[in-house]
Amino acid sequence: MQRPLALSSEDFRALAHSLSDFTADYLERLPTLRSYPEHIRGVAIQQLFSGDIPQQGLGSAAFDLLPEIFENSRPASPRFFGYVFGSGEPIAALGQFASAVLHQNATAWRSGPSANAIERTVVRWLASAIGCEGFSGSLTLGGSSANLMGLCMAREAKAPANQSGVRGGVLYCSTEAHMSNTKAAALLGLGHDSVRLIPVDDAFRMRAEALREAVRHDLSAGLKPVAVVASAGTTATGSIDPIREIAALCREHNLWLHIDGAFGALASLAIPEAFDGIDLADSISLDPHKWLYQPTGCGCLLYRDPADARRAFSHSGDYARSLSTDPIEGFAFFEESIELSRPFRALALWLSLRYFGLRAFQQSISDDLHLAQVLASFIDAEPRLERLAPVALSAVCFRYIGKSGGAGSSDLDDLNRRILDRVIRRGRVYLSNATIHGHFSLRACIVNHRTTEPDVHAIVTEVLAAADELQG
């Protein structure tokens, strides 16, 4: 019987060859591409891809629209500085391809022996690379899901809810913390109102004494403090909260310490001294798809004690429970994670790390940190620009103020908004934005293994050119 989805090995080989040629050509052209395609418009793209589902297969013509998809995408170019978004190094892409062909379920040893073993190895590598030797963990979809899981473990450890439902609990993070933490509070049934946003100092770091005061206040009101989220790299400015001080307070009050290191924790490969106390955390999120330049979809949650993960996530049904009691062959990630089916994400990261070696990643992160300082010095030397925040990691926040610097602050907000739009449309660098002390800020973030000094210099020339254009 010929099954309808059968594919001959000749056809697979031919398609794979042409796909590898196509993607290799694309990578060759990448440095020359505009940082944002000129022609991208919502309706046009929607129309391009809005055809009906084909009733009859198109065969190899199914791939015909691939050039349009690539054309209408924002390239991972050396001049992409938006958000906190890694640059996607291609060895990892080959890993993803191999992983999809192999099609394992890495969730348990018995459903994917190598995949399961390699994920455990990669997690161990990551823990030891950031100075948290002995931590366990698993790969996640990204930083948001790692934060959700970390805070779920916190809630279950300090104010158990899995059995009888949520009975309250208070979380603490700084006013600069990432939105995924408040989202997690909502998803966990604690609610936004039980998140205390602690004020920050001039360097955008959580003020530990304000945290202490907030905890004291909640305790005297009869509430149940559960966890503190310390940011190791806030999204806007990259500031790192005083982890050691916060950890001491957590210990004093029996609070869970979760570190949101989705942006910054991996920078401890290059500047470990900036992350003093990271190993005191109960759980840490970090994002290989940011600062290990992995393709999107690779985060990680590390935790000190796997029993905490099992308390939160182990709800095994008989259909999934392992028959083996062997610590290796009986191991299942689903006992310690939200996910049951689990892709073989670790293969991409494992291949990248083996291909280049940890030192190359350390150097690349160092280069990114250095380039951010170079950009800050270009900005500081240019009187028409004003830097709006210290550069703790690789995010640089600044704005155009013009020659006199005399425009009103709402005029400057509006002007910088228009400058950002113009810079993106000019297509030579891609920036995003942040709000700093209530002001609209241009923001360049360098988590890009392709960027070099001329690329960061282009940020300054492009912002000035856009401002000149707008001001006639």
Ligand X SMILES: Cc1ncc(COP(=O)(O)O)c(C=O)c1O
> What residue ranges bind ligand X (CB under 6 A)?
84, 142-144, 147, 178, 180, 231, 233, 235, 260, 262-263, 287, 299
CB of 141 to ligand X, least distance (A): 7
CB of 46 to ligand X, least distance (A): 24
Toward ligand X, which CB reaches closer, 34 or 290?
Answer: 290
Q: What burial letters (b/e) apply to 344-358, b meaning 16+ CB within 10 Å? A: bbbbbbbbbbeebee
CB of 235 to ligand X, least distance (A): 4
CB of 65 to ligand X, least distance (A): 27
CB of 303 to ligand X, least distance (A): 17
Toward ligand X, which CB reaches closer, 394 or 415?
Answer: 394
Helix ranges (H only) for 78-223 are 90-102, 113-129, 143-158, 179-187, 208-220
Q: What burial letters (b/e) apply to 35-51, b meaning 16+ CB within 10 Å? A: bbeeeeeeeebeeeeee
What CA–CA distance (Å, rounded) separates 432 from 421?
Answer: 9
Toward ligand X, which CB reaches closer, 287 or 462?
Answer: 287
281 close to 247: Cβ distance less than 8 angstroms: yes
CB of 291 to ligand X, least distance (A): 11
CB of 447 to ligand X, least distance (A): 10
CB of 289 to ligand X, least distance (A): 6
* Nearest Cα to Cα of residue 141 among 394, 341, 317: 341
Toward ligand X, which CB reaches closer, 364 or 394?
Answer: 394
**Amino acid symbol at 224:** K
CB of 239 to ligand X, least distance (A): 10
What CA–CA distance (Å, rounded) separates 227 from 181?
Answer: 11
Q: How many helices (H) and strands (E) does the chain have?
A: 15, 11
Toward ligand X, which CB reaches closer, 88 or 143?
Answer: 143
Toward ligand X, which CB reaches closer, 33 or 84?
Answer: 84
Strand order of the sheet with strand 385-387? 385-387, 395-400, 439-445, 432-436
**Amino acid symbol at 389:** A
Q: Which residue has the tokens 């909502």?
A: 186
280 close to 134: Cβ distance less than 8 angstroms: no
Toward ligand X, which CB reaches closer, 179 or 307?
Answer: 179
CB of 402 to ligand X, least distance (A): 31
What CA–CA distance (Å, rounded) separates 90 from 76?
Answer: 11
Calculate the alpha carbon distances from 115 to 285, 326, 331 in Å. Answer: 21, 17, 12
User: 303 in helix, strand or coil?
Assistant: strand
Toward ligand X, which CB reaches closer, 130 or 415?
Answer: 130
- Here the tokens at position 122 are 């990669």
Toward ligand X, which CB reaches closer, 108 or 230?
Answer: 230
Taken as a whole, the chain contains a residue count of: 472
* Nearest Cα to Cα of residue 139 among 357, 358, 349: 349
**Amino acid symbol at 289:** H
Toward ligand X, which CB reaches closer, 112 or 143?
Answer: 143
What CA–CA distance (Å, rounded) separates 261 from 231?
Answer: 6
